[in-house]
Amino acid sequence: MLTFLMKRFGVMLLTILCLTFIVFWLTNLAPNLERLAKTQANNRMTDEQVVSWLDARGYNRNIFIKYGEWMGLVPGWTNEINGVQAGRCIRAGETEGPKFCGVLQGDFGFSTVSQEPVSDVISRRLSLTGWLMMCTFLLMVPMALIVGIAAGMREGSRLDRGLSTFSITTTATPEYVSGVIFIAIFTSSAVGLKWFKGTATSAADEITFANFTLPVVTIALYGMGYIARMTRASMAEVMQSQYIRTARLKGVSFKGVVLKHALRNALIAPFTVIMLQFPFLLTGVVIVESLFNYKGFGWTLVQAAGNNDVELLLGCSIIAVIVVLLTQLISDIGYVFLNPRVRVT
C-alpha cells in the first residue's frame, strides 16, 4: 500500500510540474507579454519601448529561469527601473526583499489587475466557490444515486426507461443552456414568475434560497445525469449477479435484496465517477459563475485570463490542477478500500 501511495504521489508531483510549466509557457508567449506590457504601462508604446519595458522587468529571459524563479528555486531578478531598485521579490514602495520568492516559499506572486497578492485573491474566491461546490454536491450526489439505483434495479422496466431518458436529457443540456432557460423562466419579467434572482452576486455576502438555488441546480443537473447513468449501469450489473439470484431464491423480498444485498456493491463504481466529476464541475463552475455573476474561483479565472494577469492565472491553474489530481488520487485509494477484490500490491 505504501509503495502504491508513494508511486501515485510521485506521478502526481511530476504531473503538477509538467502542467504548471505548460501553463507558464503559454502565458509567457511573446504576444501575451506584449499585451501585458501595453495594459500595464501604456497602450501606445512602440515595439522598442515594449521590449525595453519587458527587459527591465525580467520578462525577456530564458523560460526555464523564469519558471525556476516562479517555483522559488532560482533567486528572483533585481534591476534598477527609473532609478528605483526593483525586483521580482521587492514589493512596490520597498527597496529590499527576500532572495527567493516562489511557490515553494508560499508566495504565489502579485496580481497585476487587483493589486494584491495572488494568494489573498485566490483564498477569498476559493471559499466562495467552496460553498457553491458543497451545495451542488449535497444536491447532486443523493439525487443521482437515487435515480441511478431506481433505474438500475429493474433493467428495461418502465421506471428505468423514464429515468434513463431523464438522465440523458440532463447530460445533453450544458450549463449555459439550462442556466439561460432557468433564468428566462424563473427570473425574467417577460415570463413573470419571479421566483428566484437572476444573479448570485449577493450570495457572496449572504446565501439565500432566492439567489443561490438557480446556480446550484444548473451545475447539479448537468453533472447528475452522468453519475446517474454510471450508477444505473453498476446497479444493473450487480442485480444480474449470482448472489442476488441466490438471495431472491432464498425468499428475500425484492426490497430487501435491493437495500441489503445490491446497494452496497453497486455503489463502488459510482464513487470513482463522483470523484472524477470534479474536473467537469470546474468547467461548470466557470460557466455558472460567469452566467450568474458570482465572484468565485471560476469568475476569477475568466477575469485573469481575459486581462492576462499572468501570476493570478498561474495561481488559479495550479489550484485547479491540484484539485483534479487529488480527487483522482482519492478515487483510486477509495476504490481499493471499498472493493476488497482489488489488491494494489
Please report, as ranges, the residues that interact with other proteins according to CB under 8 A: 11, 14-15, 18-19, 22-23, 26-27, 29-32, 35, 154, 156-159, 162-165, 168-169, 171-174, 176-177, 180-181, 183-184, 187-191, 198, 279, 282-283, 286-287, 290-291, 298, 301-302, 305, 316-317, 320-321, 324-325, 328
Give the start-end residues of each E strand in the chain.
78-81, 84-87, 110-111, 116-117
Q: Which is nearer to other proteins, 215 or 298 (CB)?
A: 298
| Nearest distance, CB of residue 105 and other proteins, angstroms | 24
- Give the dihedral of Cα atoms 46, 47, 48, 51; nearest 10 deg: 120
Cell output for 6: 508513494
Report how far residue 80's alpha carbon sits from residue 296's, in angstroms, rounded to the nearest whole number. 37
| Nearest distance, CB of residue 165 and other proteins, angstroms | 7
**CB atoms inside a 10 Å sphere around CB 157:** 12
Report how far residue 81's alpha carbon sits from residue 87's, in angstroms, rounded to the nearest whole number. 9
DSSP one-letter string for 226-247: HHHHHHHHHHHHHHTSHHHHHH
Which amino acid does the sequence have at 68? G
Return the closest-CA partner of residue 20 out of 314, 304, 310. Answer: 314
Rg (CA), the chain: 25
| Nearest distance, CB of residue 216 and other proteins, angstroms | 19
| Nearest distance, CB of residue 215 and other proteins, angstroms | 14
| Nearest distance, CB of residue 90 and other proteins, angstroms | 28
Q: Which is nearer to other proteins, 265 or 303 (CB)?
A: 303
| Nearest distance, CB of residue 85 and other proteins, angstroms | 32
Q: Which is nearer to other proteins, 101 or 269 (CB)?
A: 269
Q: Which is nearer to other proteins, 107 or 160 (CB)?
A: 160
3-state class percentages of the chain: helix first, strand second, coil last, to nearest 5: 70, 5, 25
Phi then psi dihedrals of residue 172, to 5 deg: -85, 0
| Nearest distance, CB of residue 337 and other proteins, angstroms | 22
Report how far residue 135's alpha carbon sits from residue 132's, in angstroms, rounded to the nearest whole number. 5
Return the closest-CA partner of residue 215 out of 296, 302, 316. Answer: 296
Q: Which is nearer to other proteins, 49 or 171 (CB)?
A: 171
Q: Which is nearer to other proteins, 43 or 82 (CB)?
A: 43
| Nearest distance, CB of residue 183 and other proteins, angstroms | 5
Q: Which is nearer to other proteins, 89 or 291 (CB)?
A: 291
Q: Which helix (H) or strand (E) holds 103?
A: none
Q: Which is nearer to other proteins, 87 or 170 (CB)?
A: 170
Angle, in degrees to the nearest 10, between helices 268-291 and 118-152: 130
Contact 59, 33 (CB under 8 A): yes
